[in-house]
Chains A and B, each alone.
Chain A
């Protein structure tokens, strides 16, 4: 006898629930969490290093570095810059998920931190589907990737809180129509907070630091 059973259960719900736990954990320590996404080589690590240079001295940052391969290249750079960092090797997976972040949080000195930045795996599709428990989704787009990316990777742009446009020092050398790019972004995420920056010259990074400081202030208030 066949029988139809009504269930209605969400797929990947366990990730969402773990993400909520991660966020509670950050909240308990009054930590502001940032999920930093981008394609490979857009400048995620460079941007985190530039951020470290300019953070107020009393702000303590911890970094979680996600990579698909068992290397510690990125986390070594952060540690060299004087901040605690944990490297996650996803074993080939194309994104970080809430479980991986939970394990990485275990290895960070949360009592001492104000800010946690998670460098997601370089990818514009999959990271958008997995909540981590952070407070802000940040995407780093970069000039050499081309101006059509918002039109091709719509999902990630829809779910952003902040957009960084990196490598603006390369604008004179690359055919990148800033207006076309911005029109695509505006159609997907009207009014999105955007910071054009260059990690090479340092231009524009101060505006991002100001935004971050405001968010950090709100946490402590």
Chain B
């Protein structure tokens, strides 16, 4: 009596096994081999320094990718995070230890902001350190965990130690907060997260194909571009209500520069940053970063005008010509 296909275990399970492996080569292993061979790092990108690599290791060990993506989709709603990611952006990734595989940084959940461009968006090392020590010290609504274990509290920091100026409400009652090496490494990694420019024609398939859906798909645009840009670029320090944080970041509400009818210094501060001023009698330990490479003239107009017309401020509105003029004059001496 002949046994049917379904009664012959070796044959039946053989088909089940090898069929799956064959399909796996079509949809996973094959494409993976091809991607690995085809996509080289972008010419404008840099390999990570040893310190950044150590920081990357902390990033993976602490599971930051469970809340943070590093993947910008070619959609209008993702444009705030940067240009669409291309395969070459990830080409330099490789395992960090013998027991590890190539880490995954694209992520599947955006509980916190995308970090593809965090080095551009938030280049202040001190801000990053305060934020890691206690995110709620700088972002009141944050639900990100505090990473106290990356810091130590000591009453007599060494001369070369990085003392973190944690705002008083969040600082420990005694002693100073000092960043451990792991914290400095992690911040070095974060600050290195900047998208390299795409050379003409690179990006290829991945960037080109979705262009059409990107154009039609979603993204109603901000109702108020100025407010949106302010919240994305400035609010982390100056806070949503323009209130600043006591003795760490100055308030922009009722600020003399913001309410000055001559907008030159206001514009110049945003373009070139600032450090060491005495504002309303207070000196701030942190520097204000420069935004000239990050924001276009039109975006600066939107932000500056937002600041000049919010929270009771009444500075005169500025125009794109004014910004262009200040930009041309270069940084003040």
Bound together: no
